[in-house]
Chain A
Amino acid sequence: MTQRTVLTAVFLFIIGIGVFPIVTMFVASFVTNGSLSLQSYQGLLSSSREWVLLAHSFALAFLVSVSTTVVGVPLGILFGRTDLPLRRFFTVAFTIPLLIPTYITAVGWADFLGADGFLANTGSAAVAQVAYNLLFNLPGCVFVLFSDFLPIVILLTITSLRSVNPRLEEAGKLVATWSGVLRRVTIPLIVPGISLGTILVFLLTIGEFSVPNFLRYHVFTLESFVQFSAFYNFGTATAAVVPLTLLTFIILLAEWMFLRERFHQVQATSDKTGLPPMELGKFKIWLFVLVALLCFTVMVLPLLVLIVRSFSVSVYAAAIAVAWDSLLRSLLYAVVGASLLAVIGFFMGYLIHQKAMPFWRTADTLTIFLFALPSTVIGLGLISMWNRPWTNFIYGTFAMIILGYLAKYTALTSRITATTLTLIPNSMEEAGQVAGLPWTRRIGSIVMPMAWKGILVSWLVAYIFCLRDLEITMIVYPPGYETLPVRITTLMANSPAELIAALCVLMVCATVLPAVVLWMFFTFNTRARNRETR
């Protein structure tokens, strides 16, 4: 098999599972009772409720993206460039919400501030009422999604800081203090990375419906889901996702036109020898306390509440009895999805990194577009494409869920692979080519063994995102194939809070455990290597 065949096949596969369903869905939205019609769109545009929901979505996305940027960038700089104590620990701690489904944080806060929560049972009724009103409204939604998406901005800031050529900072340090260098050299250089983080948070918030749904704040994404699942009004559900698709497209187009090249320029260094970290001096202890408090409030508290609430063997026994089969299904689908995503992502990442085919940029943009697209769009698209009598072998099985994962999350594995491959000099593969190795052999014997750590990380990230996925699965899962996140959501309405808390803790364990195992493996591996070298 040649390079051209494999890479073209992978690209066509992504088009087949990502673009075709969306096109099919749009075409279907213009058909009512077998004839061309704009009925679905007319109903949508004439309803004032839809405009209010759209305004809600915008307000939520705007506030979450601004708040995560305002807090996340300074935190990223503190963790990435200063001598703040325990900065590595904080980086990991602030990343945890990214590993768990967004609604789990919301459940944690509801257990703390809700009608039957800790505050209502232990504090004053008036304070509890105010907290309750705030949580189950826009401020609560903003706060929960802020804590869920804060790691994105922090991690992108840290990554951008690591990508800045240290020589540029050293040149600045000769004539200015650290704060001057940060203000005038470093931050202007990482603006593209920060903007990317803000855009990503905005798009993810626009597409989010599990948290607004749980906290009863009505947003536009919820509308298409309700139209589909409650009324089975497929035409209106499809019409409702059009504005979100267009919005995603416009924002990504702007990002592509103004930021992409600049971001790539910043990424072009692997020089790790830079200046020693910036000394915080007398501010060190105050900043440490502030960061620790924020970490506890935003990251630890909601999980702690869930653990305390479910702290009983009988509750966990009940949780396992209720959701054991869903948990096993979740694990199975996540492993299958992650393995396929790692393979497809590897070839897409290779295509993007090597610019191996003329369509490499289209492939890159397409995967990012699908990732940024609200899950409801992908889910409804898959249904409109596969819900036919002769494709029931796909539609009626868990393959629908896997296709949804592949369409949505390929950007993650392809980007991780592309970044890993930048660390491998092209000459490594060229040396294999001169030695007479065909492309498949070069990939198998040189590139993959050298990139195995990156491939493993891409698998883990894919596993986490597949396991925590609710939005796509909720829309496409066939009867009898529900995953744990779906089971938790369906049980929320009429099950004891202790049971839901226990299920959430199980979900967190299932997600975080492989990450811990992998981290331990890497640590032991590195130590063994170091011992060998010595």
Chain B
Amino acid sequence: MKLVSIESVSKYFNRSRKDPFGKAAVSDFSLDVEEDERVVLLGPSGCGKTTLLRMVAGFLPPDEGRIVIDGNLVAEYGRTLRQPEERNLGMVFQDLALWPHLSVRGNIELGMKAHGISVHDRVLRIREILELVDMADYAHARPSELSGGQQQRVALARALSLRPKLLLMDEPLSSLDVELNIRLRREIMRLQKALGFSLLYITHDLQEALDMGTRVVIMRQGRIDQVGRENEVRQYFKRLALDANEET
């Protein structure tokens, strides 16, 4: 069943009277994400991946097209109809965005308080989610006292603490070393299976994309260049390499 539907979405920057269309960051982009699916957006820097993710999250309205999440129209044609906090999604940012003045527990608890979850339930859910990401012993630590991998787990725990149906991840592992990167990929997939959320994941790393995605969307200049599973993606890159060889 469809969870997210992105329909002919475009986003332009630097628009002015002289140049009414400006620069198209995302152009006529359409994609559906099914329930429990892991979709990876793969592409070089500046191809519009983050802009697209920010539109799904609700930080930017699309200039054209519409976005539907869980059956609700959340944005269309320059209008944000549902704010990020009303979209029932979680997000792990590229810089993780852990609030440095709060403990691990505080980072997770703030959103729960805003949702009116009782103290008793909060304690239970924080313990549960920290155990899931193997961080139960660090509930009182500040983010600055944790390693990169531990911070990553806390960001994941915070994003999942409200049990969202959709998790957005914007190159969350890009700053980690290869070994930790691979270990965390496994953990994210384990959590996704355990908790049953859909994942929209951004990366520019081909291997990471193939590992993480049940479907990979290759983006170029704001458009979809290819959508497929592992074999189709590999074929696509082979074809690209051959074309490049012929040109040279």
Chain B residues with CB below 8 A from A435, complex form: 85, 110-111, 114, 158, 162
Bound state CA distance, A435 and B112, in angstroms? Answer: 8
Given contact pairs A430-B59, A431-B91, A437 touches B111 in the complex (Cβ within 8 A): yes
Contacting pair A431 B158 (CB below 8 A): yes
Residues facing A in B111-138 (CB within 8 A) are 111, 114-115
Which stretch from A63-71, A326-334, A441-449 is at the chain B interface?
A: A441-449
- The A-B contact count (CB < 8 A) is 64
Say whether B101 faces chain A, with CB atoms less than 8 Å apart: yes
Residues on A with C-beta less than 8 A from B74 are: none
Q: Which residues of A contact B100 (CB under 8 A)?
A: 450
**Hey, which chain B residues are within 8 Å of A436, CB to CB?**
85, 111, 114-115, 162
Q: Does A5 contact B (CB under 8 A)?
A: no
Residues of chain A within 8 A (CB-CB) of B84 are 430, 433-434
Which B residues are CB-close (under 8 A) to A431? 91, 93, 97-99, 158
Q: For the complex, is A391 an interface residue (Cβ under 8 Å from B)?
A: no
Cβ contacts under 8 Å, A437 to chain B? 85, 110-111, 114
Across the interface, do A428 and B97 meet the contact criterion of CB distance under 8 Å? yes
Q: Return chain A residues, CB-CB under 8 Å to B115.
A: 436
Whose C-beta in chain A lies nearest to the C-beta of B142? Answer: A532
The prevalent SS among residues of A at the interface is helix
List which B68-106 residues lie within 8 A (CB) of chain A.
83-85, 89-91, 93-95, 97-101
The verdict on A434 contacting B57 (CB below 8 Å), with A428-B97, A450-B99 known, is yes
B85 touches A438 (CB 8 A): yes
Measured between C-beta atoms, what is the minimum distance from B29 to chain A in Å?
Answer: 21
A432 at the interface (CB under 8 A from B): yes
Complex CA–CA separation, A435 to B90 (angstroms): 7
Q: Which residues of A contact B158 (CB under 8 A)?
A: 431, 435
Provide the residues of chain B in CB contact with A445, threshold 8 Å: 110
Q: Which residue of A lies closest to B101 (CB)?
A: A449
- Chain B residues whose CB sits within 8 angstroms of the CB of A446 once the complex forms: 99, 110
Instruction: List A contacts of B145 (CB < 8 A).
Output: 533
In the bound complex, do residue A433 and residue B85 qualify as a contact, i.e. CB atoms below 8 Å apart? yes
Q: What is the CB-to-nearest-CB distance from A61 to chain B, in angstroms, rounded to a whole number?
A: 37
Give CA–CA (A152, B227) in the complex, Å.
Answer: 58
**Does residue B226 face the partner (Cβ distance < 8 Å to A)?**
no
Q: How far is the CA of A457 from the CA of B9 in the complex (A)?
A: 44
- Inter-chain CA distance A430–B50, complex, in Å, is 14
B144 contacts A by Cβ under 8 Å: yes
Beta-carbon contact of B95 and A427 below 8 Å: yes
- Nearest B residue to A529 via CB reads B144
Q: Can you list 11 A-B contacts with CB-CB less than 8 angstroms, sorted by A residue number?
A: A430-B97, A433-B58, A433-B59, A433-B85, A434-B90, A434-B91, A434-B111, A435-B158, A436-B111, A438-B114, A446-B99
* A interface residues with partner B (beta carbon < 8 Å): 425, 427-428, 430-438, 441, 445-446, 449-450, 533
When A and B form their complex, which 7 residue pairs have the shortest distance between CB atoms, in order from nearest? A435-B111, A427-B97, A431-B97, A427-B93, A436-B85, A436-B114, A433-B84
* Given A430-B97, A434-B90, A445-B110, 16 other A-B residues pairs in contact with their CB atoms under 8 A: A425-B95, A425-B97, A432-B99, A432-B110, A433-B58, A433-B85, A434-B57, A434-B85, A434-B89, A434-B111, A435-B110, A435-B114, A436-B85, A436-B115, A441-B114, A533-B144
